Amino acid sequence: MTELELKYGCNPNQKPARIFMESGDLPLQVLNGKPGYINFMDALNSWQLVRELKAATGLPAAASFKHVSPAGAAVGTELTDVERKIYFAEGMELSPIASAYVKARGADRLCSYGDWAALSDVCDEQTARYLALEVSDGVIAPGYTDKALEILRTKRKGGYNVVQIDPAYVPKAIEHKDVFGITFEQGRNNFEISSALLENIVTENKTLPEAAKRDLVLSLITLKYTQSNSVCYVKDGQAIGVGAGQQSRIHCTRLAGGKADNWLLRQHPKVLALPFLPGIRRPDRDNA
């Protein structure tokens, strides 16, 4: 398949719309639903983020995207009991890739509402069961287990977008973009971000823990796929505050810092003990 028709472009009035390859087949398949233009922008950018993050850390990685920027990104480390509570994952069996998505989705649940999910590894049953509980537009992964696909195909009355991408696909070195009928051309941003960037420590204290290196790499890769200007706060293998697309870096810092503060506040014992009536939905708890 060399092209795929879309419902419309960025806005309903922008028709016709499609994604296509000038030569060869598309490196992806739509297994369920009918993604739109922005869906695929989120899907392809988020896939690049999690692919690079896994390559740099060796850990399963996940991202939660909204409007072509990550609301959250994380690697698959074990969640604490408090994190499980604030991410609504208490009592759930979580694989490493499921843990990565729970953290990516949970750090900024307000911005992740209606997100596009990206997984570096095959989507398993545990990840699909968590996704099924959340308000989400779609997911991209290199594969899906039969049970995971069965679960996801029941989401959104059967219309949930499920995209499978070929993990071996390598794009061309030169990329193009049209603006107002004029074509821009440049080399792809193939700069490799890894812990090797952190070898030259210029401070007197040369000790940099491995967890800090992991978090620095996570923040840099997250920022690579965030709309500039942008600032990212990271802790314990997850982005806890992303400020993106602001005209002022000062506002980006305030926005990201406010989200990080909120992430910490949600773990306060008094917040954890807030009484809710039975049946209160997750988004309403998040808003509270």
Q: For the chain, list the domains and their CATH numbers.
A: 27-287 (3.40.140.20)
Using pLDDT thresholds of 50, 70 and 90, give the confidence band for residue 285. confident
Tokens of 100: 């990565």
Tens-digit pLDDT profile for residues 1-51: 689 999 899 999 999 999 999 889 999 999 999 999 999 999 999 999 999
Cα separations (Å) of 176 from 85, 168, 179, 184, 185? Answer: 45, 22, 10, 5, 5
Q: Which residue has the higher pLDDT, 284 or 55?
A: 55
Q: Position of tokens 């991202």?
A: 63
Distance CA(275)–CA(256), nearest Å, equals: 28
Distance CA(149)–CA(124), nearest Å, equals: 9
Tens-digit pLDDT profile for residues 73-124: 999 999 999 999 999 999 999 999 999 999 999 999 999 999 999 999 999 9
Cα separations (Å) of 238 from 173, 233, 265? Answer: 30, 9, 16
Beta strand 136-141 with 161-165 is parallel
Q: What angle do CA 141, 63, 54 make, to 5 degrees?
A: 70
Instruction: Provide the pLDDT for residue 57.
Output: 96
Does 66 score more than 80 pLDDT? yes
Instruction: Provide the pLDDT for residue 288.
Output: 84
Tell me what the mean pLDDT of segment 258-273 comes to. Answer: 95
Alpha helices in 115-181 (DSSP H): 125-133, 146-152
Using pLDDT thresholds of 50, 70 and 90, give the confidence band for residue 286. confident
Tell me what the mean pLDDT of segment 48-65 comes to. Answer: 98
Phi-psi region at 157: left, alpha or beta (left = phi > 0; alpha = psi -120 to 50) = left
Distance CA(13)–CA(254), nearest Å, equals: 35
